[in-house]
Amino acid sequence: MAQIGIDIDLAKSILEEGRLVGIPTETVYGLAGNALDAEAVALIFETKNRPSFDPLILHTSSLERVGDFVRDFPQELKLLAETFWPGPLTLLLPRKSIVPDLVTSGLDRVAVRVPKHDLTLALLESLEFPLAAPSANPFGYISPTQPSHVEAQLGGKIPYILDGGACAVGLESTIVGMEEEEVVIYRLGGLEIAEIEKIIGVVKIKDHSSSNPSAPGQLDSHYAPKKPFILGNLKEMISENLEKKTAFSVLSFSDFFLEVKPKNQLALSPGGNLHEAAKNLFAAMRQLDESSADVILAELMPESGLGRAINDRLRRAAAK
């Protein structure tokens, strides 16, 4: 079992030894190692059972330190960094050779962000290197938003988890880069598109499902429970599964269904708030995946604001 605590000095010493630590961020918990140490990076892939063609995100403590490992910082992206860092924004930037190929899956750009969490920022400020930190879960499974989630899945493989409480945002960061002169969103996430467009104008949104990702978190099937996860019209699916006598659970946006036992259903936000729904998404999926149900029935959110990012995760959780 991994030790859970708030000892930054202990976490620092473990990372300096080339080992891994679970770290909190405002988005999800990360599995962190020295991003400039190829062996530590390889250990991240091994611990998560993550394919090496899926790039990692570098975490650092400030905008000023990004110059240590990137060659160029386009003005539009720098403006976004100045506005939203620390925060749930990841930028794709041309990397220096100091960044191991394994971090970027051999690509020329590296994903970088400054997380908004006091404990992890203090850790990053104390280190001489950035941290590579994908979500702290077995590859493809639901992302962890509490230290207990990390312990349940990876506790036998890592020595320490920094306890930063429950994640405030609950969705991974929004990934932004540039193609020629155009700003592109590669992954929808915890920073809304509207907020980005207020700063730099209209942006292009990439198709996020890819089996050959140019940025982290673009695979077709991801964030998935172990149980079958089916998206559709909940009223119709509930009726069908009651007739079949299937053991099912329900994940809704805000509704509760009288014909379903309370213990077998969760509403992400009874008040219909998309920020609350985003924060609760992964923990709710995990709770239902650990229930006695054989299948999870779920519905899409309103396709606006953070609803678009939530729906991206729901569709990939349901992908075969």
Tokens for 150, please give them.
């990390």
Evaluated on CA atoms 23, 28, 30, 36, the torsion sign reads: negative
Angle, CA 204 vertex, CA 200 and CA 206 arms, to 5°: 140
Evaluated on CA atoms 103, 163, 217, 157, the torsion sign reads: positive
- CB–CB of 21/11 below 8 Å? yes
CA–CA dist 88, 168 (Å, integer): 10
- Count CB-CB contacts under 10 A for residue 256: 12
CA–CA dist 290, 181 (Å, integer): 46
For position 219, what pLDDT does the model report? 56
Spans of all domains in the chain: 3-72+93-170, 229-318
CA–CA dist 91, 14 (Å, integer): 27
> Could you give the 3-state DSSP secondary structure of residue 45?
helix
For position 53, what pLDDT does the model report? 78
CA–CA dist 208, 10 (Å, integer): 37
Residues 61-89 as b or e (16 or more Cβ within 10 Å = b): beeeebeebbeebeebbeebbeebbbbbb
Q: What is the pLDDT of residues 212-224, one digit of tens each?
A: 456 666 555 567 8
Tell me the whole-structure pTM to 2 decimals. Answer: 0.92
Q: Which residues in the chain show pLDDT less than 70?
A: 207-222, 320
CA–CA dist 301, 272 (Å, integer): 10
Q: What is the pLDDT of residues 226-285, one digit of tens each?
A: 999 999 999 999 999 999 999 999 999 999 999 999 999 999 999 999 999 999 999 999
Tell which CATH architecture fits domain 229-318.
Answer: 3-Layer(aba) Sandwich (3.40)
Domain 3-72+93-170 of CATH type 3.90.870.10 = yes
* Radius of gyration for the alpha carbons in the chain, expressed in angstroms and rounded: 19
